[in-house]
Amino acid sequence: MTAILISEVGPRDGLQSIDRIMPIEAKKAWIAAEAAAGVREIEVGSFVPASLLPQMADTAALVAFAGTIPGLSVAVLVPNLKGAELAIRAGARKLSIPFSMSETHSLKNVRKDHAAMVAEIGAIAARVAQEEDPPHFEVGLSTAFGCTIEGHVPEDTVIRLAEASIAAGAAEVGLSDTTGYADPAQVRRLVRKVKAAVGDARLNSLHLHNTRGLGLANALAGLEEGITTLDASLGGLGGCPFAPGASGNIVTEDLAFMLAAMGYETGIDLDALMRVRAILADALPGEPLYGFTPDAGLPLGLDRRTA
């Protein structure tokens, strides 16, 4: 049975995309409940200035809290070297920097062109290497499948910048469908090409959105090409505040159910995962929560032990 890691990104990608600020105690309850349900990696926040994203102002405190949960990989997003310094100081075990394949989006998102981003990746990699027990450093190749500002993003650009990221010192790259433009054929093609360029072990993860209803189909296409880590957000919260129209992360509950039904090993207790939604509903009253599986319920006869 193949093991697949579902990386929960709701506390970061989900919450950064809504206006209201979730109380830290509710965030802690969310993180603890998902970990108890068997989720093994959670992106708890991002080290960006609170003036830009006040929803992320408590990230250091959440890293400290999540770090006390046995067996949980604590991940964060960092926009630059300063953010990486803060993340390392806080004790995060996985750092991910978004590197937009659309240069226009990169300038709007982190105010750096491609050359400056490669230099920033190199600086973070060098800083990570100074640690006695260095955290895992990954580059998320965002807008890899298309951009709401530029439109088409050439696959050759993605491959070239993936190679540049690894050469600069990143441990691996991940492909991100930031704007919900991907289709299964494109996912298969780009995963194959990037793996061929940087090596199988350097591309393991996909961050997909369900903006046009293709999230799970794209996830399946990635699985068929050897992807072993899939990002998802509880209740489908999230998008990208710097990419107009980019809504709809894959729903964690739907993804976990699909994988369980197909016989993949995730370690997640599906019943316990469904119950975590109540924490979000109570803390964010009126905020839309998505997902077909929570509405329909789990089917009779599903072997929950395979989850």
**Residues with a known catalytic role:** 240
Q: Hey, which residues does 232 pair with through a beta bridge?
A: 8
Strand ranges in the chain using DSSP code E only, listed in sequence order: 5-8, 41-46, 73-77, 94-100, 136-142, 172-176, 203-207, 229-232
Integer Cα distance of 93 and 67 in angstroms: 9
List all residues 6 or more positions away from 18 whose beta carbon is below 8 Å from its beta carbon: 55, 237, 284, 287
Is 230 within 8 Å of 256 (Cβ atoms)? Answer: no
Q: Give dist(CA 284, CA 166) in Å, integer.
A: 39
For 199, phi then psi, to 5°, come to 105, 145
In three-state secondary structure terms, 160 is: helix
Q: For residues 7 and 43, is the Cβ–Cβ distance under 8 A?
A: yes
CB-based contact 131:111 (threshold 8 Å): no
Contact between residue 231 and residue 178 where contact means Cβ atoms under 8 Å apart: no
Q: What is the torsion angle, in degrees rounded to the nearest 10, for the CA atoms of residue 291, residue 296, residue 301 and residue 305?
A: 30
Task: Encode 58-82: b = buried (16+ Cβ within 10 Å), e = exposed.
Answer: bbbebbebbeebeebbbbbbbbbbe
Say if CB 142 and CB 101 are below 8 A apart: yes
DSSP 257: H
